[in-house]
Structure 1
């Protein structure tokens, strides 16, 4: 395959070509080989593959498996999944849904996903058996919802780690007491050290300004020296913290080296449900965290299930919504791409793919010629390439039989 007229981000005034051989390896850049399929990128921009560092694949696409969540709250959504949906998640069911979920990620340019899979009805074990595929790498979190101290969750988490789950999950604010929450953090870190795993917890996913387990997690990560292996997901309570405390917290978060993973679309849907007006956005303070020198990444969270009824794994849309909800400004648009690429690779402790001869082909050709227009339009990539596999999303816009695609999609010149 030859892809011609590609624009590189670091060299956007020139067009390049990339030749990929039958084994899915980049054989050469700007060479004359033309055998096989030839794709004209027409000056579109190349990008690293996207990352989705927070999802719940085990029960994604189960919206119609049970009654609908009429309150729209996280609590009711979780109850429906635990009491009704999880009973219908057989190995066969999960594999069928996962096949569609993987393709949804791939066409949106997502090659790496971290999936938080609960121990209810052995969903995490079913995911471990089902996840192998050539398109998308799935990193599994052994998720002890609603906490370590319920049923036999701790024993099941140990078993999941032994069977290959890469990440220890936790959810301290959901434990029965504050003391149990603190104990659960220490247990998660003990397990991570014992099994040499990463850590990613649902932490402070609430509007309660007194929920401050992010501090507990950061202190534990700092004392053990494994902040680089630790992620704090959600942290929606930070939206309700007073500014003095939040500033103090950012100093600790930065020192500890932890990553924060925010899920702006689903958090906007769930948080503020107990407010009258004005209603809180209930999203982690993404912009302030970034400006404080903390590694921040964005995830999709739930898709088409009782917790969130919409979604499509389009990470550019997630970045766009982060811009909207957290009052980013026009000069910061391009930085948002890092939240679904570089920063997310760091949070998941993954090596970023490089486009160079001899490497496996792993890259995207965006639908647009600039990062700004990519985030503005949130269109799926024009071309997705991973080794021997690829996907194309061809978009053509015509007005009175005159093609206007480029003029409409690319409105800002670099």
Structure 2
């Protein structure tokens, strides 16, 4: 686990390359806050950026890859394998796996996290209770927000019970939407629940490569109709990668007008979409990031699944996920940093910006800038929180 570091009362870091700013900078901190941030006359101090905000993970499923009977052949194969594994989800099992995930995320620089939790009955699942307790225990290190995740057809039936508990626990209401019958009415029911209970929404939507999967269109239309800009997040959107480009352009324009957000998950989606034994996948299933942002949609990048049936890799290192997105999606590396930090932080109601008076909480890479840090996976990294350095992860090796 991550051990506490002794408090550093103050000091100055010089010659820093600072995310989003030209030139080099000196940063002076005192009693856990940035007191001076000014242009520097020196170089070589490293690359500094705000801490990370991982808005889409699955702590209930994490670190179960070793228990899977085979490599997932599809999204729905992974769903079936994970459903079978829930027989092993005891309090101790959930705590141990999620604790490891949070500790790794903290050591890598994550400050905020939203975890989806599978929810299939009227009563809250065991994982919701366990992770709610852990959210309280980890507050101030990794601030953890929970989002329920229920298949849309089920949520229509049990939504009242789910929404009440989610509201009481300060969570987010979520649904899995994929080629459902009577889609418009079911989406309206979910929005009714959100309005009644004052909840934000977070959808897993169109997570496949069928062009007819267009749940995101209905969500966007309902968001606009309810004037819920800034309160509805759509994750995955894989089908947008295979739909008609002119059609997608209109969808994205409407999404921007409605004020929805989009989360792209380069790990699990690249791994599961267009897969199969003995063949090389051609389609990667990643939503059009460039086009979405150009249209005005806030675009975020998340870790998604980590070492489970959906994706047997990862380490809750959002910087490593960012590297994957930069390579796969041809992102200008210096211009998309907000997608893993400031952007999702704002969506969760927080500010991770580096300025005078703000907490001295940041990540410093032994690198000349973001491109250099991305190019060298082994570049030394320091995570600072409130003026003190966080030690590297120490714990069980999964």
Q: Distance in 1 between matches of 2:81 and 2:176?
A: 18
On the 8 A contact 1:109/1:380 being kept in 2, the answer is no
Aligned equivalent of 1:193: 195
> For residues 242-391 of structure 1, what are the structure 2 equivalents within 5 Å?
242-273=244-275, 279-328=282-331, 332-357=332-357, 359-378=358-377, 382-387=381-386, 390-391=389-390
> For residues 60-209 of structure 1, what are the structure 2 equivalents within 5 Å?
60-64=62-66, 66-83=67-84, 85-120=85-120, 121-132=125-136, 133=138, 134-144=140-150, 146-149=151-154, 153-173=158-178, 177-179=180-182, 181-209=183-211
Q: Distance in 1 between matches of 2:119 and 2:341?
A: 29
Q: Which structure ranks higher in relative contact order (CA pairs < 8 Å, sequence separation ≥ 6)?
A: 2
Deviations 1:124-151 (A, max 9, x none): 232222222131011110111x334279
Q: Distance in 2 between matches of 1:273 and 1:160?
A: 37
Count of matched residue positions in the alignment of Structure 1 and Structure 2:
372
Give 1:170 shift.
1.1
Deviations 1:202-228 (A, max 9, x none): 011111100101010011111111121
On the 8 A contact 1:380/1:393 being kept in 2, the answer is no
- 2:215 maps to 1:213: yes
On the 8 A contact 1:218/1:253 being kept in 2, the answer is yes
Q: Distance in 1 between matches of 2:261 and 2:201?
A: 10
Aligned equivalent of 1:29: 36
Partner SS, residue 113 of structure 1 = strand
Quick one: structure 1 residues 15 and 294, their matched pair in 2 at CA, closer, same or farther if it must change by over 3 Å?
Answer: closer
Provide structure 2 residue ranges, at least 5 long, that are not aligned to the other structure. Answer: 1-7, 394-398
Give 1:244 shift.
1.7
Give 1:278 shift.
6.4
What is the TM-score of this pair, normalised by structure 1? 0.82
- 2:9 maps to 1:4: no
Partner SS, residue 311 of structure 2 = coil
Give 1:60 shift.
0.7
Q: Distance in 1 between matches of 2:365 and 2:186?
A: 42
Quick one: structure 1 residues 160 and 88, their matched pair in 2 at CA, closer, same or farther if it must change by over 3 Å?
Answer: farther
What is the TM-score of this pair, normalised by structure 2? 0.85
Partner SS, residue 366 of structure 2 = coil
Provide structure 1 residue ranges, at least 5 long, that are not aligned to the other structure. Answer: 32-40, 395-414
On the 8 A contact 1:125/1:160 being kept in 2, the answer is no
On the 8 A contact 1:6/1:16 being kept in 2, the answer is yes
Farther off after superposition, 281-290 or 314-323: 314-323
Quick one: structure 1 residues 172 and 184, their matched pair in 2 at CA, closer, same or farther if it must change by over 3 Å?
Answer: farther
Q: Distance in 2 between matches of 1:196 and 1:225?
A: 13
Give 1:382 shift.
2.0
Q: Distance in 1 between matches of 2:167 and 2:294?
A: 38
Quick one: structure 1 residues 187 and 387, their matched pair in 2 at CA, closer, same or farther if it must change by over 3 Å?
Answer: farther
On the 8 A contact 1:172/1:182 being kept in 2, the answer is no
